Chains A and B, each alone.
Chain A
Amino acid sequence: MNLTVKVWRQKDAKSSGKMVSYQVNDVSPDMSFLEMIDVLNEKIIKQGDEPIAFDHDCREGICGMCSMYINGRAHGPKTGITTCQLHMRSFNDGDTITVEPWRASAFPVVKDLVVDRSGFDRIIQAGGFVSVNTGGGIPDANTIPIPKPAADEAFDAATCIGCGACVAACKNASAMLFVSAKVSQLALLPQGKVEADTRVQNMVWQMNEEGFGSCTNTGACSIECPKEIGQEHIARLNREYIKASLG
């Protein structure tokens, strides 16, 4: 199939950007979306221009690096997948496709479709861990049985890949789903309970420092989350936060 692809081009963080149109022909339905961009980039390089910069790495939906806003939706038209898992069979011959970077002031554009998501790392650094050193004295793993439902729910939260689609999809650019996934995972497990209060307070404080917006419970984040992390985790985050604040 033949497609028109309109892509956000921005030289660097300081420059202003604009949408640029490209024609991509002979696209196979078996190509992934990123492979279609690869083909386009090869063409651009051969023409002597600069290829489109975009983040990507594992190309199997788990590293969380790819981050395209396609036709007005984070990771494109399908739910439950990342951009790299989107295949061209989801589009039709003659389509015009718009591709933008994540748009959030807490995720400044670095170049073209590449944004700076280091705010997420700083939130984890503020408290998204269990403070256990490596070493001896750690009890045998089976010492603490964990009820399967709690373990499963913690796992559901822990599948967050930190891609930032939740922020990109939210009209307020809120990071509540991301933060809640980690808070919820660790609050559900006995290992995480010891530091539950300080964790949630520190992570929420850092989230605000980074300039993410507030949560108004529209639920767009969960719909666009490639790992389908649910709203119940935001509810748990709120509960944990209130609990911690009341001391």
Chain B
Amino acid sequence: MKLESKIPEGPLAEKWTKHKFDLKLVNPANKRKYEVIVVGTGLAGASAAATLAELGYKVKAFCFQDSPRRAHSIAAQGGINAAKNYQNDGDSVYRLFYDTVKGGDYRAREANVHRLAEVSVNIIDQCVAQGVPFARDYAGYLDNRSFGGAQVSRTFYARGQTGQQLLLGAYSALSRQIGLGNVKMYPRTEMLDLVTIDGEAKGIISRDLITGEIESHAAHAVLLCTGGYGNVFYLSTNAQGSNATAAWRAHKKGAFFANPCFTQIHPTCIPVSGDHQSKLTLMSESLRNDGRVWVPKKQGDSRKPQDIPEEERDYFLERKYPSFGNLVPRDVASRNAKEQCDAGKGVGQSGLAVYLDFADAIKRLGEDQVRAKYGNLFDMYAQITGENPYQSPMRIYPAVHYTMGGLWVDYNLQTTVPGCFALGEANFSDHGANRLGASALMQGLADGYFVIPYTLGNYLANIGPQKLDVNHAAFKEAEKAVKERINKLISINGTKTVTEYHRELGKIMWDYCGMARNEEGLKKAKGLIKELRADFWKNVKVSGTNEELNQSLEKANRVADFLELGELMVDDALNRNESCGGHFREESQTAENEAKRDDDNYAYVAAWQYKGDEVAEELHKEELNYEYVKLTQRSYK
């Protein structure tokens, strides 16, 4: 099978406009003849479900939480980028496009990223119209802040709760459509398989998380808006329930998985405090606007930070990257923190932390203004650590945060399974090998509000309003497989809990497929994951039955998929013998230990095809062609 990216012809800035004109339309009266399933109600899912319902399609939306308002987009703190140039500081659609391609270390599609930058301005207008309370200045106009990887202020924000406000905006639009009867909402319902008929997506199998009922839902198209797979690492900034099951089951039904090894390790998270740790909490990147990152110059310096004089501190990001300083992109900041800790200069009890210091900002702006900007983040830090960040610097360490990889999609956001689309973090398309801060919210909403409403119409117009049949053999088979798997999980009745397996998998992934990777470690990890997976299916202990609210079973189902996806991530990392963005192969670095890309051999998207259980996946390559951006060694010095 040949990968067709379906990037439109023509000049970059005209591709999307031209494509929109070329796409087929479904006439208004016919839209109600089409049913669309949307899985996940985060920014991408809620915005897509609401918008498609407004257009007249019949929509069913699913989320595993008790309400669509709780999807993990809600936890995004810092902001959303848009090329509004309200600050008159030289921003433009082209600059946002350029920064994003460069920030992604030249592993994203130019055409997709340009479209993203184009619609970014519409997103802000849309959200303001919905009543999203963005931060404003004293004249009443929208305020901006700057974020990593950019030298302009283009980030719109709502204190440290931008994701919450944007999600509640999308949730309100979705709620309106639910109230009008245009969307049927299925909360506490998890997708457990994709159903295909003659190779096309025709529905899903779901499990009601309260009754355990396994149900078939048929539709003309299925949209997976199910987020990323960072929880493969066990500890991450993701929510406890965030999982890869929908995407992984789609993968096993024919959707290629692209660049699975591209994971983002966020530099500013609160360090691990012990084995009981269940998740890691992010401190927004916006803190690097005013916080200064440093370690003691001396190894093993155990003095209190306040007692270490200025000349004995190493502000290593400012020293090494004078033009971007503390605002270098996330991958660079994370790797440098690790480098300092590996050199024995880490701080705190574990030695796995660096300081993020606000003393200068407090001196310059006063405590009140710092509180106004970052109050909720400082409170959060104090709550978790029991320390006061107004008085002593925060201790931070990198943690898994986002996954740039995901289901392969073409320009229309369609996966390699016709009729199955992937939006938001669930797809791979816009961030290359590293996502810039405040770009995830932008992409989720771009896909849902402004891209899929056009591209889905084209697909539906082409297939026509065919009759849906939930009694088709394909549904019955998929239901049977789902039930068999659940029964198997429950009947093993071994000795190790799901959490124990998950924690072990996470450690393997973090140690060998985390911030730095090498061939030997990756090969070892592959073996360890295979062993762990085999053991899981022999010895896992899942309590209770299917016919009840059973959180242990939910988790087992998800971890079983992580145990497969983890191996593919390792395969992909092994294959990509270059360093780029968040993927750092120790074999491929410059003399100054910076990531060294290999454009001659790896300027492609690695798209993996499932070939059967315990069979090696097949690699397909989509070559990346850069017509506008010149590939250079990324430098933030």
Give the B-binding residues of A (Cβ under 8 A): 11-12, 28-32, 34-36, 38-39, 42, 45-46, 48-51, 53, 55-65, 80-81, 85, 87, 89, 110-111, 114, 116-118, 120-121, 124-135, 138-142, 144-148, 151, 154-155, 158-159, 161-162, 185-186, 189, 191-192
Check B130 against A129 for contact (C-beta < 8 Å): yes
Check B129 against A138 for contact (C-beta < 8 Å): yes
How far is B132's CA from A146's CA once the two chains are assembled, in angstroms?
12
Check A147 against B140 for contact (C-beta < 8 Å): yes
Task: Flag whether B421 is at the interface (Cβ < 8 A).
Answer: no
How far is B548's CA from A150's CA once the two chains are assembled, in angstroms?
47
A124-B175, A148-B136 known, 10 other contacts, Cβ within 8 Å: A12-B549, A45-B543, A59-B240, A62-B74, A63-B72, A125-B176, A138-B129, A142-B141, A158-B165, A185-B131
Check B66 against A59 for contact (C-beta < 8 Å): no
Given contacts A87-B386, A185-B131, A189-B133, is CB(A58)–CB(B175) below 8 Å? no
DSSP majority for the A interface? loop
How far is B351's CA from A111's CA once the two chains are assembled, in angstroms?
42
Q: Closest 6 A-B residue pairs measured CB to CB?
A: A145-B140, A125-B179, A129-B172, A155-B133, A141-B128, A30-B273
Please indicate the chain A residues that have their CB under 8 angstroms from the CB of B161 in the complex: 62, 159
Contact check: which of A132, A145, A146, A161 meets B130 at CB < 8 Å?
A: A132
Give the A-binding residues of B (Cβ under 8 A): 47, 50-51, 54, 65-70, 72, 74-75, 84, 86, 122, 124-142, 158-159, 161, 163-165, 168, 171-173, 175-176, 178-179, 185, 187, 210, 239-241, 273-274, 276-279, 281-282, 379-380, 383-384, 386, 449-450, 453, 495, 497, 499-500, 541, 543-544, 548-549, 551-552
How far is B50's CA from A135's CA once the two chains are assembled, in angstroms?
12
Check A34 against B278 for contact (C-beta < 8 Å): yes
Given contacts A125-B176, A126-B179, is CB(A42)–CB(B497) below 8 Å? yes
Please indicate the chain B residues that have their CB under 8 angstroms from the CB of A39 in the complex: 276
In the complex, which of the residues B50, B239, B282 has the most CB atoms of chain A within 10 Å of its own CB atom? Answer: B239
Check B137 against A134 for contact (C-beta < 8 Å): no
Contact check: which of A11, A35, A60, A147 meets B276 at CB < 8 Å?
A: A35
Nearest CB of A to B80, in Å: 12
Check A62 against B384 for contact (C-beta < 8 Å): no
Check A139 against B125 for contact (C-beta < 8 Å): yes
Nearest CB of A to B131, in Å: 5
Check A130 against B172 for contact (C-beta < 8 Å): yes
How far is B70's CA from A126's CA once the two chains are assembled, in angstroms?
19
Chain B residue, CB-CB nearest to A111: B549
Please indicate the chain B residues that have their CB under 8 angstroms from the CB of A124 in the complex: 69, 171-172, 175
Please indicate the chain A residues that have their CB under 8 angstroms from the CB of B178 in the complex: 121, 125
Given contacts A64-B69, A186-B131, is CB(A28)–CB(B383) below 8 Å? no
Could you name 20 residue pairs across A and B whose Cβ atoms are closer than 8 Å? Answer: A28-B274, A45-B552, A57-B239, A60-B279, A62-B161, A64-B67, A87-B384, A110-B549, A111-B548, A111-B549, A129-B172, A130-B130, A134-B50, A142-B84, A148-B136, A148-B137, A151-B134, A159-B161, A189-B131, A191-B129
Nearest CB of B to A203, in Å: 11
Please indicate the chain A residues that have their CB under 8 angstroms from the CB of B551 in the complex: 51, 53
Please indicate the chain A residues that have their CB under 8 angstroms from the CB of B172 in the complex: 124, 128-130
Chain B residue, CB-CB nearest to A146: B140
Check A110 against B141 for contact (C-beta < 8 Å): no
Chain B residue, CB-CB nearest to A202: B179
How far is B552's CA from A49's CA once the two chains are assembled, in angstroms?
11
Check A57 against B50 for contact (C-beta < 8 Å): no
Check B549 against A65 for contact (C-beta < 8 Å): no
Check A118 against B67 for contact (C-beta < 8 Å): yes
Chain A residue, CB-CB nearest to B176: A129
In the complex, which of the residues A36, A53, A63, A131 has the most CB atoms of chain B within 10 Å of its own CB atom? Answer: A63
Please indicate the chain A residues that have their CB under 8 angstroms from the CB of B138 in the complex: 148
How far is B131's CA from A32's CA once the two chains are assembled, in angstroms?
34
Please indicate the chain B residues that have their CB under 8 angstroms from the CB of A162 in the complex: 67, 69-70
Contact check: which of A61, A132, A145, A189 meets B141 at CB < 8 Å?
A: A145
Contact check: which of B47, B74, B131, B139 meets A58 at CB < 8 Å?
A: B74
Check B543 against A58 for contact (C-beta < 8 Å): no
How far is B131's CA from A89's CA once the two chains are assembled, in angstroms?
39
Contact check: which of A50, A110, A138 meets B543 at CB < 8 Å?
A: A50
Given contacts A63-B239, A155-B133, is CB(A141)–CB(B84) below 8 Å? yes
Please indicate the chain B residues that have their CB under 8 angstroms from the CB of A42 in the complex: 497, 499-500
How far is B169's CA from A185's CA once the two chains are assembled, in angstroms?
12
Nearest CB of A to B127, in Å: 8
Contact check: which of A29, A116, A118, A148 meets B140 at CB < 8 Å?
A: A148
Given contacts A31-B274, A154-B133, is CB(A121)–CB(B125) below 8 Å? no
Please indicate the chain B residues that have their CB under 8 angstroms from the CB of A89 in the complex: 386
Please indicate the chain B residues that have their CB under 8 angstroms from the CB of A111 in the complex: 210, 548-549
Contact check: which of A81, A126, A140 meets B125 at CB < 8 Å?
A: A140
Chain B residue, CB-CB nearest to A206: B179
Nearest CB of A to B391, in Å: 18
Nearest CB of A to B241, in Å: 5
Please indicate the chain A residues that have their CB under 8 angstroms from the CB of B70 in the complex: 57-58, 63-65, 162
Please indicate the chain B residues that have their CB under 8 angstroms from the CB of A57 in the complex: 65, 70, 72, 239-241
Given contacts A87-B383, A124-B172, A124-B175, is CB(A134)–CB(B449) below 8 Å? yes
Contact check: which of B136, B273, B276 meets A38 at CB < 8 Å?
A: B276
Check A129 against B173 for contact (C-beta < 8 Å): yes
Check A58 against B239 for contact (C-beta < 8 Å): yes
